[in-house]
Amino acid sequence: MSFAGPPRLRPPRHPVDPRARRWWTAQALLTVSGPMLLTAVTLLALCLLFFAGALPWLLPLLAVVLVAPACAYAVLMPRRRYAVHAWEVGTYSLYTAGGWLWQKRRVAPLSRVQTVDTLRGPLQRRYGLTTLTVTTASTAGNIRISGLSDADADTLAEHLGRAAQDTVGDAA
Amino acid sequence: MSAPAPDVWLRPDARTLLVHCGWLLPPLGSTTLTALATGGRFPPSALFTLAAVAVSFAAITGIGHLRWSRTRYRVTSDAFELRGGVFSRTLRTMPLSRVRGVDLTATPLHRLLGLTVLRASGTGGAETVLNAVPRAEAARLRTLLLARATPGRAANPELSSVDWRWLRYAPLTFWVLGGVGVAAGTVYRVLDGVGIELWRVGFVQDAFTEFGRSALWLTVPAALVAVLALGSVGALVLYVENWWGYRAAWTDADTLTVRRGLLTTRSVALERSRLHGVLLREPLLLRAAGGASATAVAGGLGSSEEAHARGALVPPAPRHEALRVAVGTLTGSGARDEHPFDGVPLTPHPRVALRRRVVRGLLFAVLPGSVALLVLGALFTPVLLHLAWVYALVTTAVTVLLARDAYRSLGHALAGPHLLVRSGTFSRDTLALERRAISAWTLTTSPFTRRAGLVTLTAAVAAGEHGYHVRDMEPGAALALACAAHPGILEEFLEPA
């Protein structure tokens, strides 16, 4: 292979399921943004009830420290993730991209695949999504694809399982 | 011990039961200390301790006996089997083809009783521990477990053995200062445990009042020197304990055995097929004195921290000696061709990497201290304000120096069958990783590296720390390196820019 300029690693072909955006939003609301907003509301209520005088400085403080980051996280994180997360099975390798602020692209040869697991959490089940985990002998070679549709995950797991079986013995 | 017939279930040595009583020593020792300190009159807390010790002794001895009586092991023609369990019966079968290494260790108590703990580690971090068998039996088991390795003598078996002139490198480690802190903490806790309150002892109180009244410009440096001297002695002791009887040798064509230790002897057998590289470590002080140490990047040594401790190949020693062992480990027995650890020029990384290191230093070292001093100075005394600018100046200078050094360290190259990667300033680490062993590539970016147009390349191997990073590369160079180092993984996803 010879390229004119320096080579570029193109993003993987298949984006994850669009429903993943809603799943990530729900996750954000449950784990980070929700508790932060709830804290802000509680503090505001306590302030109104007992120290109404503190309102002029507490209101902007809460807005900057809790409300704005919580909203930004719930809105930005799922979008960025959806833009980044993708996967592709090539002839020889499995290729995935993930993350949002810290982004990761990993390529692992199909011949090194040891196990293929699928995971459907209660929240994921509501959106019909599956997380697929592929392990190799090296923990730094393990691959996780989250936000796959159930059907995609099943086909992929079957395909990867077959590929791993075809090349058994090379995995160690 | 004559070799028993195969397939017969054997028991650990009965003396193992005595080993289980070893934990009694510290509480009994501290109780004796209390008795001596109080002239035979036990405070109620000590009586409680004694009662608790008695109850635990009964429980632990009971369980220990149960465990011992239920433990059986055997080596069949194709597996190592260990039966055991206290409340439920377990049977652990480790196929001999999966055994990656056999590690024999003995605590002082084990040695006193002539026993050895055998630790067979397998693929995927599986570990089977047999505690404890007589030394001869352990050696026999190890031969059996590693029988799958093809026998045959290596041409030039011995790589290195201990040279006590290396002791001069011992004080050049973290333990000089950290060790004193740890030791002081331990002493305090032991005394506290037996009911002696250090701050009430007249002698200590007097010492502190004297110290405060004396000329501080003289006594503070003196105290520092004393701590350094104490720490150096501790580091020497630790070095001797860790590396007594050190010998690294190819015991057969495919097994590198590293033996070491005074009170706790350990012997680690590294199989050539699991040996995927070497990490040459040069911490700042050691590097200044021309020393280095080396660690094997090998599979089947447990978690990454365990792998680091168990993979030690050579203690802090002269750099050429550490290099010799590293090369001998990589190339097999005789260092036929000089492995180019130093010979190959490393490709430097983009200049932006230097800026990142300077900024990081300013952000985490200079800024917090200066701001804290400024705030305190503004609140309390102008002396601190002066201290703040002095601190800022000095730390900035040091930061720039260290950042330049860190940037100079950064580099990578391909050297024959190995990928060379160097990085770090506090500990300059040079990694030689077997290219064939790399099983996946990862490219990582953070918001900061994206802004600088850099990327970190990670090579995955089933050994050592599993992920080895080549930090702050140009994206194109990272891909070119990945393709050249281990072709056939990510080519199909490339496209012309």
Residues A64, A119 within the same domain? no
Q: Which residue in chain B has the smallest CA separation from A102? A: B446
| Per-residue confidence (pLDDT) for residue A10, from 0 to 100 | 93
Task: List Cβ neighbours of B14 (8 Å cut-off, separation of 6 or more).
Answer: B68
Mean pLDDT of B199-219: 73
Q: Do A3 and B489 touch (CB under 8 A)?
A: no
The residue assigned the tokens 């704005």 is: A68
| Residue A150: CATH number of its domain | 2.30.29.30
B148 — contact with chain A (CB < 8 Å)?
Answer: no
Closest C-alpha to B27, from B58, B61, B51: B51
Architecture of domain B16-145 in this structure: Roll (2.30)
Q: Minimum mean pLDDT among B5-19, B47-61, B331-345: which range? A: B331-345
- Chain B positions in Cβ-Cβ contact with residue A107 (cut-off 8 Å): 440-442, 489-490, 493
Mean pLDDT, residues B201-207 taken together: 74
Which pLDDT belongs to residue B302?
77
Decide which of B49 and A97 is more confident: A97
Question: Which is more confidently placed, B305 or A113?
Answer: A113
What backbone torsions phi and psi does residue A80 show, to the nearest 5 degrees? -60, -45
Residue type, B415: A
pLDDT for res B1:
43
Q: Could you tell me if A75 and A92 lie in one domain?
A: no
Identify whether A124 is part of a domain: yes
What are the residue ranges spanned by the domains of chain B?
16-145, 168-243, 256-349+410-493, 355-396
Distance from CA of A122 to the nearest CA of B (A): 30
Chain center to CA of B311: 8
Higher-confidence residue of B444 and B271: namely B444
Give Cβ neighbours of residue B371 (< 8 Å, ≥ 6 apart). none
Per-residue pLDDT for B150 more than 60? no
Q: Do A4 and B440 touch (CB under 8 A)?
A: no
Q: Is the pLDDT of residue B295 over 70?
A: yes
Question: What is the model's pLDDT at position B370?
Answer: 92
Residue B384 Cα, gap to closest chain A Cα (Å): 31
Q: Which residue has the tokens 């003995």?
A: B106
Interface test with A, best of B442, B451, B486 (most A CBs within 10 A): B442
Whether residue B267 is predicted with pLDDT greater than 90 in this model: the reply is no
Q: Round the average pLDDT of chain B to a whole number and report it.
A: 84
Domain identity same for A93 and A73: no
Chain A residues with beta carbon closer than 8 angstroms to that of B307: none
A45 within a domain of the structure (yes/no):
yes
Inter-chain CB proximity B488 and A109 less than 8 Å: yes
Helix (H, G, I), strand (E, B) or coil at A73: helix
My answer on whether A77 and A93 are in the same domain is no
B148–chain A nearest CA distance, Å: 16
Provide the residue type at B333 as one letter: S
A1 domain residue, yes or no: no
Is A10 among the domain residues? no
pLDDT of residue B126: 64
Q: Please provide the DSSP assignment of B318-351 as one string.
A: EHHHHHHHHHHHHH-SS--S---TTTSPPBPPPT
Which of B439, B450, B494 would you mutate first to test chain A, the one with the most A CBs within 10 A?
A: B439
Q: CA B265, B269, B274, B277 torsion: positive or negative?
A: positive
Q: Kindly report, residue by residue over A71-121, the tens digit of the pLDDT.
A: 999 999 999 999 999 999 998 899 999 999 999 999 999 988 888 889 998
Across the interface, of A88, A101, A137, the residue whose CB is closest to B447 is A101
Tokens representing A60 are 């902007």
Q: What mean pLDDT is predicted for residues B67-77?
A: 87
pLDDT at B42 over 80: no
Contact B493 A138 (CB under 8 A): no
Q: Contact B45/B195 with Cβ under 8 angstroms?
A: yes
Domain that holds residue A96: 86-166
A10 with B495: Cβ contact below 8 A: yes
What would the mean pLDDT of B208-221 be, rounded to a whole number? 74
Q: Of A137-146, B198-207, B355-364, where does mean pLDDT reach its minimum?
A: B198-207
Contact state of B462 with A101 under an 8 Å Cβ cutoff: no
The answer to whether B440 contacts A108, with C-beta atoms less than 8 Å apart, is yes
**What is each CA distance from B442 to A48, A170, B283, in whole angstroms?**
52, 20, 27
Please give the ipTM for the structure prediction. 0.90
Mind listing the pLDDT tens digit for each residue in B235-255?
888 889 889 889 898 877 778
Residue A78 and residue A134 share a domain: no
- pLDDT bin (cut points 50, 70, 90) of residue B174 is low
Among B14-28, B75-89, B290-304, name the most confident range.
B290-304
B460 and A136 in contact by Cβ < 8 A? yes
> Rounded to an integer, what distance in angstroms lies between the CA atom of residue A60 and that of residue B297?
54
Total tally of structural domains belonging to chain A: 2
Residues of chain A with pLDDT under 50: 1-4, 169-172
Report helix, strand or coil for B161: strand
* Residue A171 maps to a domain: no
Same domain, A90 and A162: yes
Distance from C-alpha of B285 to C-alpha of B181, rounded to nearest angstrom: 19
- Indicate yes or no: CB of A93 within 8 angstroms of CB of B492: yes
Per DSSP, the three-state class of B455 is strand
